[in-house]
Amino acid sequence: MKRIVLSGAAVLALAGATFAGFTSASAQSAEGDAARGKTVYARCAACHDLNTGATRLGPSLKGVMGRTSGTSPSFNYSQALKDKAVVWNSASLDQFLAAPAKYAPGNRMAFPPMANATDRADLIAFLEQSAR
Ligand code: HEC
């Protein structure tokens, strides 16, 4: 009897975890925590300016929301990112950051996949507030 109760709880916990993973993976970034996203952005900051428009290793992300990929005039993009011609928004950024190399094969952003959907949602919420 006790064993059945325990395994029932385990199944419930598993189902809960799966559901949480599903909802955060498909969540709108409006649900992300921008304050926490700022700390996630530390992984991007060496290569991406956010406020001044300056080029670092990568293009400035100032104004990136709503911008078409590969179109900041002061950066020399890969053909891959120019050809992708995607408008950056919460959905496209989420896909790109989850698997940069797969999203635009041949792009030059040397950054590993960000597997954690909560990290991505928080980061995107921060970008929506700050990349202006
Ligand atoms: C090692 C340096 C580096 C890091 C770290 C890095 N990037 Fe990049 N990023 C680049 C480069 C270089 C490009 C341009 C790639 C190309 O032209 O193919 C780029 C391109 C981009 C673009 C496309 C911009 C545009 O104008 O189309 C976005 C969005 C972006 N990065 C977001 C991020 C975010 C968010 C992070 C942190 C999670 C991050 N990057 C981390 C170097 C980096």
What domains are defined for the chain?
A: 2-130 (1.10.760.10)
Q: Is 80 in the pocket of ligand 1 (CB under 6 A)?
A: yes
Q: Is 78 in the pocket of ligand 1 (CB under 6 A)?
A: yes
Report the separation in Å between the CA atom of 74 and the middle of ligand 1, taken as the mean of its atom positions.
Answer: 14
CA dist 103 → 9, 10, 98, 110 (Å): 38, 36, 8, 13
Enter the pTM of the model.
0.83
Q: Whose CA is nearest to atom 36 of ligand 1?
A: 44
Q: Phi, psi at residue 115, to the nearest 5°?
A: -75, -25
Ligand 1 atom closest to Cα of residue 127? 35
State pLDDT tens for residues 30-72: 589 999 999 999 999 999 999 999 999 999 999 999 999 999 9
Q: Is 32 in the pocket of ligand 1 (CB under 6 A)?
A: no
State pLDDT tens for residues 86-127: 999 999 999 999 999 999 999 999 999 999 999 999 999 999
- Tokens 């891959």 locate to 80
Rounded CA gap, 89 and 37, in Å?
Answer: 16
Q: Whose CA is nearest to atom 6 of ligand 1?
A: 44
3 pLDDT tier (thresholds 50, 70, 90): low
